[in-house]
Structure 1
Amino acid sequence: MATGEHVLLVVPPVLYPGIPTLGPSILAPACRRIGVSARVHYANLSFASRFGFEVCARLAASRTLVGEAIFLGAAFPERANDVDRILDLLQQDVEADAKLRQLVRLASPDEEHVARCVAEIPAFIEQTAARVVSASPKIVGFSSMVQQTMASIALAREVKRLDPKIVTVLGGANAAEPIGSALLEMTGVFDFVFSGESDREFPEFCKTFVEAGVLPEQRVIRGRGAPRMDDVPAPDYDDYFAELEPLRATDSIAANAPHFLIFESSRGCWWGDKKNCTFCGYNFPGTGYRAKSADRVVDELETLIDRYDVVRFYASDNIMAKDFPRSVLDTLADRGTPCALSYEVKSPIRAADLDSFVLAGIFEIQPGVESFSTNILKSMDKGVSGLDNARVLRDAASRGLRVVWNILTAIPGETCDDYERMLGLLPLLHHLPPPTRWGPIRISRYSPYHNQPEKYGIKGLRAWQAYYELYGEYADRIALHFFGEYTTEFMQAPDLVARLDQAVTDWTNAWKRPEGAPVLSIRRLQGGWIEVADTREVSKATVQMLPPHVARVLDSVQQPVSLRRTLDEDREILDGLVALGYVALHEHRYLALATEPQIGEALWAQRRRNLGRGADDPSIEIPLDDVSVGPSRRKLAFSHDETLRL
C-alpha cells in the first residue's frame, strides 16, 4: 500500500464490492482541498478477493445480521465462542419466517462459505490492519453503514494494537447518535466518532491534528451538514478503480465492475421536511433539504462519465428535487449526455416529468408506491392516493421506465376493508410490473414510528433480538431496526394475509410466463379509434376496437376522477369499460389502466436523436425488461442489459 497519506479512510466488509462508496470518496478530496493528504482503502475488495465476490455480495444483501456476526470473534476476541451459537439463532429466525426464508435463499451465502469466513476472518483482520499501519497514516477513519460495524471494530482494535499512536475515527450512518456514543463506550477502540454529515468538520479535524497535533475534547463530533451542496467536492473514485484493477481477472463480478456509480444531487427530503413518511428513517433530523445547482449536477455527471467511462448512475438522493425535470433533465436531454440514471422520486409524478426522465436518460425510478389503499397511504403520511400510485405505474410502463416498488403491510391504522378493496384491484394491474417485494414494515431508527411510538399505538419498542446477541446492553442504542407491540385488523386476519400473499404471487408468476408478461395496451388509430390489446387473465377479449366516442370517455379518466365528477352521459360507457377491465373503479374513483407504448416509442426515438444517433439505431438499448406492445405481441427494442449500450 502506498505510504505518506495523512488520512486513510477504510471501507470495511461486508459492503457490496461491485461499486465504490460515496461518503469516503467525497471526504478524501475534501481533505486534500485544504492541504491534508488522504486516500480510500477498500478493505471490502480485499475481503471479496479472499472469500469470493459473490460470497461478499450475498453477505451484504443478507436480511439477517450474519455479515456482522461473522466478525464478532475478531471484534471481541473474548466472545469468539459465541459466534456459532449466534449464527444458529439467526438461522432459526429465518426458518421461523417463511418470507424471510425465501429472501435468505436468494441472497445469503451457504453455511460452508460462512464457516470459512468465520475461520479465516482473524487472519484477514491481521493482514488488513498490517497493510493499513504500513501506510503510516496519522488518522484512520472507518466508514460504517448497514453491516460494517463489527468489521470496523475488529480492524480498529488491531490497528490500535499495532500502532497506538494512530487516531482512529468512525463515521457513516452507523456512527450517528446515539449509536456513535454507544460504540465509544462499548469498544474502546475508536478515539472519535462523527455523527451526521461532516463535510466540513472531518477535514478541519484532520487539518488541526496533522498541522498542530491538537485533538478536540469532545469525542462525539456532530456534523452540521453542508449548507451549500455546490461546495461539496465531486466524488473521487480513483482509489476504487486502482484496487479493483488487479482483481478483474480473478472474478466475473470484478471483471464487470463497477456495475454503476453512485452520485448525489441533493440531501435530505423536501417531503419529509413537511411530513415525514411514518416508516422512513432516512431523513436525518436537523439537516433540511438541500440540492446542488443544475449546472453543478450536469457538470459532475459529465465529468464522472468522462473520467471513469461509466454511463450508469444511481442517485443517493432520498428524493428528486421538485424542479429537477425542468432544470437538470432538460439540460441533460439537450446536451445528449450519454447517461442512464436511477432515482427515488415522489409519487404522484406528472406525465410530462416522466417524458423528461426518458429524454434525459433516466431508466429506473423508485416512486414510493407502498400501497393502493388511500387510507393506508394517509396513515403513512405519503400524501398520495391509491389510484395516483396505479397511474404512476401505468405511465412509467408506457414510457419504458423500470419501477422499483413495494407493498407494505402492518401499518398502524390499516383495516381489513383496505385490503379487500386492494384485492379487487390487483388482478387488473397484471400488465404492470409486480412489486419487488411485499410484507410488514420494519420499525427503523429515526422514523416517526421509532421517535413517537405512542402516537401510533406502538408499545414495548425494543431492538431486534440479533442486536442483543451482538451488542448486549448497548443493543437499544446501536440497533437500526426494532420490534414493537401493536396490532391491526389486517395483522389479526391470517386468511386475508394469505389471500394477499397469493394475489402478489399470482401477479409475479404472470410475469414469468413463457409467452411473456400480460398486456393491456392501447394504440391510437386514424379517425379517433383506439385498438386495445389485452392478454391478462381477466381479459374479456384479446383485441378490442373502441370507437371515437368511447375513446373520448376513456381519455377523460387518464387521471383519477371521482365518481361524482363524471358526466351522467358518460357513466354508462364508463361502466362498460369497468366491466371490460380497461378502467378501474376503486375507492369511488375511475382510472384508465391501459399503457400506451406509442408514447415510449416516440420518446426513445427522440432520445436516440439527442444522443446523435439515428432514431432507429439498434446500438442503443433501452434498459428495461422486455415490454410487449400491441395485439401482435410485437416487441419494442426494450431490453434489460447490464452493459447498457448507448
Structure 2
Amino acid sequence: MTLQIEVRRADDVPVERPPGTLKVLLVCMPWLGLHLPSLALSTLAPLTRGLDFVDGLDVRYVNIEWAQYLRDRTDGRIGGDDYSAISESDFSAVGEWVFSGSLYDRPDPERTAYHRRLTAGGHDMTLAEELYRLAGPFVEAVADDICAGGYDVVGFTTTFVQNVPSFALARAIKRRRPEAVVVFGGANCDDVQGAAMHRNFAFVDYVVRGEAERTFPLLLRRLAGATGVRDRDIAGLCWRDGDGQPRANPMDAGGVGVDAIPEAAHDDYFSALERNPVGAEVHPKIILEGARGCWWGRSTTARSAGSTTR
C-alpha cells in the first residue's frame, strides 16, 4: 500500500468544536527505530486525551511513514533494513544530514560541506545521497497533510538523531500555518540544549524541558485560554515574551512520582505498523520504564518523558 497524502489548504478545513478547546497532534520523526514505540508519546497520549480542554489528540509515527515512503518510491529497493542501518548507526549523524537539505533549502547533497568531507575520506555516500534527495518532497507532503488536519498544537518528541528531521517538518508546518503552535520536548531538549534550540529556531514556539507529564498539560491549559496560567509560571518552559525575545524558565529539580505517570498506551504505534506494509518487516519490542536518567551520565539527559533506561 502506497503512502497516501491528500493535499488540502489548511484554510479549507472547517474546525467546528467548542471554544477554549484544542486539537493536538504528537509526532515521532525519524530516526527512532521502527521496532520501538515512542515511550514519550505512548505516555503523553493518554494523559492528553484525558484533558477536558483537548477536543482531539492524534499521534503520528512519521518515522514509519518515512520507511514506507522510501520503499514505495524505490519499488522496494530501499526498505526497513536500510532505514535501520541509518537509525542504528553511530556514524557521524548521517541521519540528521539526510534531512538537513529540507531544513536549510539545500537540494544538492554534493554541494554540502558534510558530503565533501566524508567522500574525501573514502566513505560511500550513495544511499545517503538518495535519501537526502527524497527527504525534501517527503517533508513537504507530510506538512501539507498535517496542516490539512487543522491542528492547534503540534508537538515533537526528540531524542538522539531526531532534531533535524523534526526541525525540517516543524518549519514546513509553520510556513503553511503560522498560527499552529509548535512544541518540542524530549531528552534532546533538556537543560541548556532546549534553551539553545528555542533560541536558534524561531519556528519553535515552545520547548518543554523536564518532566513532560507535569509541564505539557499546563502549557496546553494555558494555550486553551485558561486564566491564572502564564508562560513564565511553567517550570522549565522556553517561551517568547511580548517583544519576541526567548525566555527560559528555571527547571524543576523534582521528579514525577510513579503514580503520576500514566500507563503507556502503544495503540497508535501498532496502528501505524498495520497501516504501512513496511511494518511486516518489523519485529516490535515494548519498552519497560524502570527509571529515568541518562545511563551514560552525559549529554542526552533523560528527564523528559520518553527518555528511559531499558
TM-score by length of structure 1 reads 0.38
Deviation at 1:82, TM superposition (A): 7.2
Alignment of 1:562-641 (within 5 A): none
Task: Note the C-alpha offset of 1:67.
Answer: 0.4
Asked if structure 1 preserves the Cα contact closer than 8 Å seen for 2:98 and 2:132, the reply is yes
State how 1:233-312 maps to structure 2 within 5 Å. 233-248=262-277, 251=278, 254-268=279-293, 280-281=297-298, 284=301
Distance 1:125 1:169 in 2: 18
Q: How does 1:135-284 map to 2 (within 5 A)?
A: 135-212=149-226, 216-217=231-232, 218-219=238-239, 220=248, 222=251, 226-248=255-277, 251=278, 254-268=279-293, 280-281=297-298, 284=301
- Once the 2 structures are TM-superposed, how far is the Cα of residue 283 of structure 1 from its aligned partner? 8.6
| Residue 97 of structure 2, aligned match among 46, 69, 73 | 69
- CA contact 1:6–1:137 (8 Å) conserved in 2: yes
- Taking structure 2 as the reference length, the TM-score comes to 0.75
How much does 1:173 deviate? 1.4
> Which residue number corresponds to residue 40 of structure 1?
59
User: Cα distance, 1:49 vs. partner?
Assistant: 0.4
Pairing 1:332-411 to 2, within 5 Å after superposition: none
- Measured at CA, do residues 86 and 133 of structure 1 come closer, stay the same or move farther in structure 2, by a change above 3 Å? same
Aligned pair partner of 1:6 in 23, 28, 31: 23
- Alignment counterpart, residue 86 of structure 1, candidates 114, 119, 124: 114
Would you say the 8 A contact 1:74–1:80 is kept in 2? no
Aligned to 2:18: none
Distance 1:215 1:126 in 2: 33
Residue among 60, 73, 82 paired with 1:55: 82
Deviation of the 1:211 alpha carbon: 4.4
Structure that is richer in strand per residue: 1
Q: CA deviation at 1:316?
A: 6.9
Identity %: 28
Q: Once the two structures are superposed, what CA deviation does each residue of 1:268-289 show, in whole Å capped at 9, x if it has no partner?
A: 38xx9xxxxxx6327949x7xx
Q: Is the 1:194–1:223 contact (alpha carbons within 8 Å) kept by the matching residues of 2?
A: no
Q: What value does the CA root-mean-square deviation take over the aligned residues?
A: 3.1
Instruction: Tell me, yes or no, if the aligned pair for 2:80 and 2:282 is still in contact at 8 Å.
Output: no
Pick 1 or 2: higher relative contact order, CA cutoff 8 A, min separation 6: 2
Partner of residue 48, structure 2 = 31
* CA drift at 1:157: 0.5
User: Aligned partner of 1:21: which letter?
Assistant: S
**Is contact 2:159–2:300 with CA below 8 Å preserved after alignment?**
no
Q: Which residue of 1 aligns with 2:244?
A: none
Q: Which amino acid aligns with 1:87?
A: H
Q: Distance in 2 between matches of 1:115 and 1:121?
A: 10
Aligned residues: 265
Query: Which of these two proteins has the greater Rg computed from alpha carbons?
Result: 1
**Cα distance, 1:38–1:226 mapped onto 2, change above 3 Å:** farther
Tell me how far apart the structure 2 counterparts of residues 140 and 153 of structure 1 sit (CA, whole Å): 12
One-letter amino acid matched to 1:25 = S
Deviation for aligned residue 1:86 = 0.6
CA distance in 1, matches of 2:173, 2:300: 33
**Alpha-carbon distance change, 225 to 156 in structure 1, aligned in 2, over 3 angstroms:** farther
Q: Deviations over 1:20-57 (max 9, x none)?
A: 11111111111122222322111101111012222221
SS in 1 for 2:132: helix
Which residue in 1 is equivalent to 2:36?
A: 19
Letter in 2 for 1:232: I
Whole-Å Cα distance in 1 between the matches of residues 189 and 111 of structure 2? 23
Q: How far, CA to CA, are the matches of 1:74 and 1:282 in structure 2?
A: 26
By how many angstroms is 1:71 displaced? 1.1
Match of 1:540 in 2: none
Aligned amino acid, residue 259 of structure 1: P
CA distance in 2, matches of 1:128, 1:194: 24
